[in-house]
Structure 1
Amino acid sequence: MRTLLTATALLAVATLAAGPVVAAPAASPADTAASPDASPHDTVQDHQRRGRFDLPRRGWSNDVLRSGTPERVGLDPGPIDDALEQVRRYTVPDASGHPLFAGAVTLLAHDGVVTTHATAGWALRYADAAGTELPEARRVPMAPDTIFDLASISKLFTSIVVMREQERGKLDLNAPVARYLPEFGVNGKASITVEQLLTHTSGLEPWLPLWSDYPDIPSRIKAVMDVTPKSAPGTAYVYSDLNLITLGVLTQRITGKPLDVLVREGITEPLGLRDTGYNPPRAKLDRIAATEFQGARGMVRGEVHDENAWSLGGVAGHAGVFSTAGDLAVLGQAILNGGSHRHRRILEPETVELMMTDFNQEFPGNSHGLGFELDQRWYMGALTSPRTAGHTGYTGTTLVVDPLSASIAVLLTNRVHPSRDWGSINPARRAVANGLAQALGVQPRRGPTAWTPTAGGGTLTTKALAQRSERHRVEFSVFVDLDPGDRVVLQAGDGGDVWRDLRTLSEYGERRWERVELVTEAAVHYRWLYIRGSGYGGRGVYVDAVRVSDARGVLVDAERDPASLRAEGWRSVSR
């Protein structure tokens, strides 16, 4: 079976305008007493990897989330502070006359330590769809425990429920959905599998106007069951809310329990997620971020923003879950731990591996596991790798889980407050992920420093070399984590304007130093040319331990003689 083969293969690989800004408090004595810096399960290697981007992890973490600081786990606080400042700036009106979003909560965690839990702006700021600001006394500032409508991040909760039923033997991922929902198997859908719903390869329409075109919940569910596929199952990636609505109905059918009960019993109660669930109680309204002003509904706050989920009673497979940044971080840590947190297990490790396996390799750019999106640099930024998992939500929410660095990035905004038409928050999503990635160090391979290009790029060039042999041996260590389209090229020059390419480096995702050695026709100079592409950028490139020799001996040893390299658009760094 494809599912089992994929799991086996992967297991082999992966053994006022802006409002107040509040930073996370330092760890309390209770936190530190219960959870010291070093977990009793840590190995020496685990400890050495802390705060490092260039030492990717394999296997599962075994951490319990606790409060701390970036320095506590070896992170550089500077890039994180820069990212938080960028988020804050997005809450200030720009040339458009309005901010990108009214407010935000940002949470970053590494090695089980919540290093950052900061707020900016307002949970409630506007009175109407036109953006009329409420008097300051009536606004509600963001707080660390503000509750957000997660929108499509809800799909992860539905997916986990599905995978729990698969673990219990009640569900076969490769089986036709019609085996469990016979009414679904009409109009060309008889062969659609559960897996195809989870990976958005079913061919179903992205969306139907259930809330406006159908009078009640039964007719809305029937419309989903009756829909005709947009494309043949398995032939295309089409992101569709209908996939997850169908899975919500399916899980209720096979368990006899509604989706909100399954989420509560299987996820939120075991993990202790006190503020996560559907249809939050009125008692929590003052903690809930407002979303959009929607005509007859008015300013939506405390009810699900998505009209279809609202029309289905607030509980649907594609939307409806509310949560906090802290609760989402616990879920993220449970994923990093292979399905458990504080000894409470919601999934088996093999199941988590399946959920983080790319089932969509035939659809480049649309990597997708069983519920999780994978390898999506447009919001995962420099944390991106083929193993990085996450999801976004239309209301302005983001969760990124990076197993290679044991890190979590959460950005929750109310970007649809008061209007969904105020712009994309993807730059803010990348800023947060990039801040965490840049806070993780890349340790020089030899000596105290290495060379890395600045944002604009440039060249790192050797001094003029004696021409005493016909061939040169060029050696250097290099770390490369670049966006497709970015590249570093080692070139040889004749002392003038002519350069020939020797080696192009453009990889990402491995996060490892490698030693490059090549023998080439003697040149007057060698240089490393950084070429910035049009993509989103990666963690960067580092060059270290440069050495050039010929048959008679060493011509350049940059570790002994740093002046033998001339940097233009490159800089010397210690991490």
Structure 2
Amino acid sequence: MKRFTKTVAQLNALADDGIVPGINYLIFRGQERIRETRGFAQTRPMPEVLTPAMQYDLASLTKVVGTVPVIMMLVQTGQLALDDPVQKYLPQFSDQRPTIRHLLTHTSGISGYIPHRDQLGPQELKQAFLSQQRVDSSFNRQIRYADVNFLYLGWIIEAVCHQAVQTVITERVLRPLKLTGATFQPLASRCVPTEIQAGRGLIRGSVHDPKAFILGKHCGCAGLFATMTDLEQFSRALIESNLAGLLTPETVASFFRDQTLIPGPHSRSFGWKLLHSHAADHHLLISHTGFTGTWLILDRQTDQGMIVLTNRVHPTARNQAYLDRRDQLFATYLAEMQLA
């Protein structure tokens, strides 16, 4: 694992240079692993040292850890089809064109402004998302990442399973995989804080994303908290055992292929973003990031990955330096994966 010296140095520098308060990271290849925890869980109002077992607000990693596996299980059992129209399950949505595949690949073109969105109640917000969004000219022509796609997927899960989406994720993904630190209802004392906001104060133990905060258990785009141990178990299960048999080999293989219907090669599979390895065959890897400062990169072909947990939005979400460093880290890691 000496190959990752530059990656490790850049990860350590995120905390050491104050770009993030603290960092918990894991690089693994087969049974080899580099794991480190350094820095602080919070810096304000009082410094608190980060510990390895703390839970993080995963933000959009909720999409690929929770919502995508459930959707694909329903596809496997024939309860959903990838090319079913959204309207079949959400009749309030007026456009017949977008399908479940379009939602999963962020090619639905669904967009629209909802006035005073963060002041609405949960039912009002859901109604607004279903009735006030329109399909624009990017439909099936452009990948445009948007949370609305996974809000809809969460509500489709609810329509099929007759349970709140976060309950379904807990029962069908978190418990079978024995992700004991993964939860939608964490204890604040175990959590790494996120932002300090004028309205909410120091956010700790409740979801940072304002839509998820309003929608609660009915949100499929964010809301999951987990530890590094949980994400290591999830990641290894996904690429080593087809999510411990919850998914078929064909389903997992589909994550590593372009699943858009746009002509030519593109960088989206079912929920995941695709990256090209630097190996001779340029095989595809999967990745995802979370707004709060989290990310996953997984390579099924070589059984390796990088998992990073930070709270880059503490004390404020205005942190362009983190985004610049993250891009550099992705490039460094992909290059070092191929070194002998």
Is 1:165 paired with 2:74? yes
1:80 is the counterpart of 2:14: no
Are 2:177 and 1:279 aligned? no
Q: 2:105 aligned to 199, 205, 221, which one?
A: 199
- Check if 1:145 corresponds to 2:53: yes
Separation of aligned partners in 1, 2:241 and 2:113? 33
Residue 87 of structure 1: how far off its partner (Å): 2.3
1:124-273 to structure 2, matched below 5 A, reads 124-127=42-45, 134=46, 139-156=47-64, 157-184=66-93, 186=94, 189-205=95-111, 208=114, 211-214=117-120, 216-226=121-131, 227-231=133-137, 233-273=139-179
Which structure has greater helix proportion?
2
Decide whether aligned partners of structure 1 residues 210 and 143 sit closer, same or farther in structure 2, where only a CA change above 3 A counts.
farther
Candidates 367, 383, 396, aligned match of 2:267: 367
Q: Which residue of 1 aligns with 2:300?
A: 403
SS of 1:239's equivalent? coil
Letter in 1 for 2:260: N
Give, as a single letter, the amino acid of the residue that structure 2 aligns with 1:175: D
- Tell whether 2:224 aligns with 1:321: yes
SS at 1:390's partner residue? strand
Q: 1:355 to 1:89 in 2, by over 3 A?
A: closer
Residues in 2 aligned to 1:235 and 1:210: alpha-carbon distance in whole angstroms: 30
SS in 1 for 2:232: helix
Identify which of 77, 100, 120 aligns with 2:38.
120
SS of residue in 1 equivalent to 2:287: strand
Q: Given that residues 367 and 375 in structure 1 are in contact (C-alpha distance below 8 angstroms), is that contact kept between their aligned partners in structure 2?
A: yes
Distance 1:92 1:206, change over 3 A: farther
Q: 1:4-47 CA distances to partner (integer Å, 9 max, x unpaired)?
A: xxxxxxxxxxxxxxxxxxxxxxxxxxxxxxxxxxxxxxxxxxxx
Q: 1:385 to 1:310 in 2, by over 3 A?
A: farther
Whole-Å Cα distance in 2 between the matches of residues 309 and 384 of structure 1?
Answer: 40
Per-residue Cα deviation, 1:391-426 (whole angstroms, up to 9, x for no partner):
000111000101232101001110000111122424
Number of residue-to-residue matches in the alignment: 337
CA distance in 2, matches of 1:90, 1:407: 22
Unmatched runs of 5 consecutive residues or more in structure 1? 1-74, 94-98, 128-133, 443-575
Q: CA deviation at 1:152?
A: 0.8
1:91–1:120 contact (8 Å) kept in structure 2: yes
Indicate the structure whose relative CO is greater, using CA pairs within 8 Å and at least 6 residues apart: 2
Structure 1 residues 327 and 384: alpha-carbon distance in aligned structure 2, compared to 1, 3 A threshold: farther
Partner-residue secondary structure (3-state), 2:79: coil
Q: 1:278 to 1:364 in 2, by over 3 A?
A: farther
1:364 CA displacement: 6.9
Say which structure is richer in strand: 1
Show CA shifts across 1:103-143 (max 9, x none).
110111111x251110121111122xxxxxx2xxxx22222
SS of 2:216's equivalent? coil
Contact 2:276 2:284 (8 Å CA) reproduced: no
Which amino acid counterpart does residue 249 of structure 1 have in structure 2?
W
Q: Which residue of 2 aligns with 1:425?
A: 322
Question: What percent of counterpart residues are identical?
Answer: 28
- Which stretches in structure 2 are left out of the alignment for 5+ residues? none
Q: TM-score, normalised by structure 1?
A: 0.55
| 1:513-568 C-alpha deviation (Å, 9 max, x unpaired) | xxxxxxxxxxxxxxxxxxxxxxxxxxxxxxxxxxxxxxxxxxxxxxxxxxxxxxxx
Name the CA distance, whole Å, in 1 between partners of 2:265 and 2:320: 23
Give TM-score scaled by structure 2 length.
Answer: 0.90
Do structure 1's residue 291 and structure 2's residue 291 form an aligned pair?
no
Cα pair distance change 1:206/1:304, threshold 3 Å: farther
Q: 1:375 to 1:81 in 2, by over 3 A?
A: closer
Query: What CA RMSD, in Å, does the superposition of the two structures yield over aligned residues?
Result: 2.6
Distance 2:280 2:206 in 1: 33
1-structure distance, mates of 2:113, 2:84: 24
Taking the aligned partners of 1:159 and 1:353, their CA distance within structure 2 comes to 14
1:119 maps to a residue whose letter is: T
Q: Distance in 2 between matches of 1:391 and 1:109?
A: 17
Q: CA deviation at 1:212?
A: 2.2
